[in-house]
């Protein structure tokens, strides 16, 4: 039965596993589209424009905001990030889900937008702050100063957990991934998202009355 596409918001403190969880979810269902964010931060080694991010200058990014091309945008660690609107709306109309790997600021903007009724938001908590710091250090990508800043920001991020529909503790990645899949299956079946359901029930009623 035809349904509208979902906007799946996946958030967590930096290092708590949202990027890994996003990859696992799309491996489970490759029809899920990934919202490639635009950003003003420079690309890291191995990153490609249009794949990991749409890399834009601050002026280019601001133009997208000013012309209404962004569904959400926020400043994170002194760089701007945002989600282009056009591909998301196209996915929704085609019944295709779109996955957002974003922070609480972006999630809040999408939930408060005209598309908010089709949002499913999931927040991942780390098993402990010590485990979170270890994950950041094990990446080997950032300096001590950057990691300390990320840890401070993580405390603020965690404070927004109650704004989400679902909150999971990512202490076992396979179990957490199974829970995320279960959430998505249930949300896809919600009555209000089945666009053809009213017509189908009406046909059942007409069939009965015509006997």
What CATH number did the domain enclosing 123 receive? 3.40.50.300
Q: Angle 129-139/144-158 helices, nearest 10 degrees? A: 140
Give the total number of structural domains in the chain: 1
Determine the 3-state secondary structure of 159 from DSSP: coil
Q: How far apart are CA 21 and CA 10, in angstroms?
A: 8
In a domain, 149, yes or no: yes
**Residue in 102, 122, 112 with CA at minimum distance from that of residue 39:** 102
pLDDT for residue 165:
97
Structural domain span for residue 84: 9-205
**Residue in 91, 100, 64, 96 with CA at minimum distance from that of residue 80:** 64
In a domain, 210, yes or no: no
Which mean pLDDT values do the consecutive 10-residue runs of the chain (211 residues) have?
Answer: 91 87 96 95 94 95 95 90 92 94 90 92 92 82 82 89 96 96 96 89 91 68
pLDDT for residue 102:
87
In a domain, 1, yes or no: no
pLDDT for residue 201:
93
Place of tokens 């965690």: 158
pLDDT for residue 188:
94
- pTM for this prediction: 0.82
In a domain, 211, yes or no: no
In a domain, 2, yes or no: no
């Amino acid at each position: 039965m035809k349904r509208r596409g979902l906007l799946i918001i996946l958030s967590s403190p930096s290092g708590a596993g949202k990027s890994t969880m996003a990859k696992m979810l799309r491996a489970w269902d490759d029809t899920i589209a990934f919202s490639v964010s635009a950003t003003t931060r420079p690309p890291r080694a191995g990153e490609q424009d249009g794949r990991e991010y749409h890399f834009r200058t601050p002026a280019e990014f601001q133009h997208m905001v000013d012309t209404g091309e962004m569904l959400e945008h926020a400043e994170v660690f002194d760089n701007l990030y945002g989600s282009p609107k056009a591909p998301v709306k196209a996915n929704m109309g085609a019944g295709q889900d779109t996955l957002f790997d974003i922070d609480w600021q972006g999630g809040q903007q999408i939930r408060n937008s005209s598309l908010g009724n089709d949002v499913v938001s999931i927040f991942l908590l780390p098993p402990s702050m010590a485990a979170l710091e270890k994950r950041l250090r094990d990446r080997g990508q950032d300096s001590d100063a950057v990691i300390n800043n990320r840890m401070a920001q993580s405390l603020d991020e965690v404070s927004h957990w109650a704004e989400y529909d679902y909150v999971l503790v990512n202490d076992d990645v396979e179990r957490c991934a199974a829970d995320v899949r279960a959430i998505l299956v249930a949300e896809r079946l919600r009555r209000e998202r089945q666009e053809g359901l009213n017509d189908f029930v009406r046909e059942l009623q007409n069939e009965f009355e015509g006997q």
